[in-house]
Structure 1
């Protein structure tokens, strides 16, 4: 299987980022529940201009993360695993199953309650964490499995972005949205005119972000939209898209995502925190991520392969795919991100959801790691 240099770089940076995120999460939880609790909270609530430091991370820096996701998705569509319908269908179907089934499970417990807006929480997969756990298994992982999980997670993130845009938009300002899309249109013309200088796209991207921020639609959407107007060309190392993606890998993996983790996992565990795990919101998140993800991914893939619409790559086994479904249940970054939008201003629901996400992601990751390790060991002994 041919794998581009940039895909290899993407996988390597994401798996390293997963390990960094684990460390940052542990550090953040320890500080938030230590004698430094007050000072640590103050850091993230410190006002910079009209917004807190945490807000700038979530609405500003995370736009860069989504720009990188958009660039990777663009590359996969043009020359990667999603460049042909045959190759794209399996991870696409897997992503659909991994979004629909968890949302349905969540709504079974929360429909008609004040927390039903959280249905998008268990739909997400954290690329960095999922690939980070997968990388712990080393060279035993088939290449097709790495590509499958990466493609699934990228499509999953696109799905989460669409969910944010459609369901978590409050007051829509058509004027600001129109200006943002108008800037995007100008950048698209630059693309068609083969303007291969970074500067107009960066300046235009900042403008898109500002007006999107004031439109009511979450500003991070601008990052994905910007990715698709940046010239891709032939995908070579000389193109703006390749250079920008290469440039963003390490800052996103080792600055943006760790800062997001530190800021958003500063969860204070009160004396009754365990009771929160019995809340219908927590149960929906847990069952959605830990069971809904692997069941949805496996059932959708198995059904579509059975009727002949797509097929399983030669070296990928059904047991491996099912085990990988648990890794897709590591929601973390995107799940927390959607939590902040779903329960805006509802601090108790946000705290309960964050604890449930952390617990669910830990369980899903451990099951996925053990199951996949056992599966690979058995298959190796049978060879």
Structure 2
């Protein structure tokens, strides 16, 4: 099984971005717990107009991240690994298990409490981090496993996007929402009339974002909606969709996501930080990501193959799927993003403890997943020189 050029470029981009994301997180944590802690944390809360710097990043720049996710998803559906039911079935069922089981574990511990809104936190997988860790294993990783984990993470993002849209939106201002969708309708007409110039789509997208921001539905959803009205054509390098996706890869991987990590992981860790880990919320996050993710991904994949809905690729074993499921427990970006939405009215303490739980769970999931795959994957064959 050969990787397409687009998928290969995506994989390499996410690999480098994941390593930079890790570096940005470490730097942010160090600065937040240094002598300049107060100034550093205060900087991100500085108001620029009606929003803080962090809010502009989370509501504005992250919409561009979701635009890239939407463009990648569109390509996968039309031409990539999700273009056929046969290829898509295994990661779809794996992702479904990786969403339902972690959320179920969290709700088992938090249902009926003030933190039950956090059920969406352990649902997500961080594509950049997961692929970054997988890439450290080099050539011993089967192609099918790369495809499975990448498709799984993309489908997980779809789940996270739906969760954000449905459960983490405020009271809806229907007029603003109507205007946002009216603009989208106009852009769709341009698409059908084969207008390929990106400028009207980007201007319209900015308008959609503004009205979506003031509608109560989280503004970042605009990115995904905009992606599906930008002309895809035949998917070649000359198409508007490809050009925009190719342009956005590096700014998102090397600027937007690291900036998001720096702004949202500036956590001043107090001497009694571990006391917050005894709460059902943080226990639910850690168990959901570390236990629920691999269990759900493996179990639902196994059931789907057992009942004949899909088949396990010939170069994969069930222990490989389990290892990929462990890496799926790296929630980070999306988990932190959902935390900010779920607990925005519950105070900084709940958010910070949740972030610490996400960092701990992601570290455990990444480390255990890496070691498990390292010892269970066959060493790469070395080609003998003639």
Partner residue in 2 for 1:4: 4
Residue pairs, 1:144-155, within 5 angstroms: 144-155=144-155
Aligned to 2:364: 363
Deviation sequence 1:191-210 (CA, Å, 0-9, x none): 11111101011001101111
CA distance in 2, matches of 1:119, 1:12: 31
Q: Does 1:218 pair with 2:218?
A: yes
CA positional deviation for 1:48: 1.4
1:33·1:269 contact (CA, 8 Å) conserved in 2?
yes
Q: Which moved more, 1:371-380 or 1:133-142?
A: 371-380
Alpha-carbon contact 1:100-1:123 (below 8 Å) kept = yes
- CA shift digits 1:30-53 (9 cap, x unpaired): 000110101211221111121111
Q: Does 1:304 find its partner at 2:304?
A: yes
Residue in structure 2 matched with residue 375 of structure 1 by the alignment: 376
Structure 2's unaligned 5+ residue stretches are none
Aligned partners of 2:140 and 2:380 also within 8 Å: no
| Secondary structure class of the residue paired with 1:22 | helix
2:289 — aligned with what?
289
Q: Aligned pair in 2 of structure 1 residues 15, 111: CA closer, same or farther (>3 Å)?
A: same
> Cα gap change, 1:347/1:89 in structure 2, threshold over 3 Å: closer, same or farther?
same
TM-superposed CA distance for 1:10, in Å, is: 1.0
Distance 1:323 1:146 in 2: 12
For residues 6-41 of structure 1, the C-alpha deviation after alignment (integer angstroms, 9 at most, x for no partner) is: 211111111101100111111000000110101211
2:348 pairs with 1:350: no
Partners in 2 of 1:235 and 1:158 — Cα distance? 21
Q: Within the alignment, does 1:95 sit opposite 2:103 as a pair?
A: no
After the TM superposition, which residues 135-174 of structure 1 pair with which residues of structure 2 at under 5 Å, given as runs? 135-174=135-174
Report deviation, 1:136.
0.6
Aligned counterparts of 1:44 and 1:266: Cα–Cα separation in 2? 9
Matches of 1:32 and 1:75 in 2, distance apart?
39
Is contact 2:140–2:379 with CA below 8 Å preserved after alignment? no
Provide the rounded CA distance (Å) in 2 between the counterparts of 1:313 and 1:210.
45
List aligned pairs for 1:52-67, cutoff 5 A: 52-67=52-67
Tell me the distance in 1 between the aligned counterparts of 2:41 and 2:332.
Answer: 20
Secondary structure at the residue paired with 2:169? Answer: coil
What aligned pairs does 1:202-217 form with structure 2 within 5 A after superposition?
Answer: 202-217=202-217
* 1:36 partnered with 2:15: no
Matched, 1:252 2:252: yes
User: C-alpha displacement at 1:379, in angstroms?
Assistant: 9.5
> What secondary structure, in the 3-state scheme, does the structure 2 residue paired with 1:226 have?
helix
Whether the 8 Å CA contact 1:6–1:246 is kept in 2: the answer is: no
TM-score, normalization by structure 2? 0.97
CA contact (8 A) 2:196 2:239 kept: yes
After TM superposition, the structure 1 = structure 2 runs for residues 111-122 of structure 1, keeping only pairs within 5 Å, are 111-122=111-122
Distance, in Å, in 1 between the alignment partners of 2:197 and 2:155 is 28
Counterpart secondary structure, 1:316: coil
Q: Is the 8 A contact 2:2 2:143 kept in 1?
A: no
Per-residue CA deviation, residues 122-169 of structure 1 (Å, 9 max, x unaligned), is: 000000000010011111111111111111101100100000000111
- 8 Å Cα contact 2:91-2:148 kept in structure 1: yes
> 1:7–1:378: structure 2 CA closer, same or farther, 3 Å change rule?
closer
Shift in Å, 1:3: 2.6
Deviation at 1:380, TM superposition (A): 7.5
Would the aligned equivalents of 1:76 and 1:83 in 2 still touch at CA under 8 Å? Answer: yes
Cα distance in 2 for residues equivalent to 1:105 and 1:213: 32
Structure 1 length normalisation: TM-score?
0.98
Task: Tell me the distance in 1 between the aligned counterparts of 2:210 and 2:5.
Answer: 34
Question: Is 1:324–2:331 an aligned residue pair?
Answer: no
Give the distance between the partners of 1:52 and 1:90, measured in 2 at CA.
Answer: 42
Partner residue in 2 for 1:338: 338
Answer whether contact 2:290 2:361 (CA < 8 A) is retained: yes
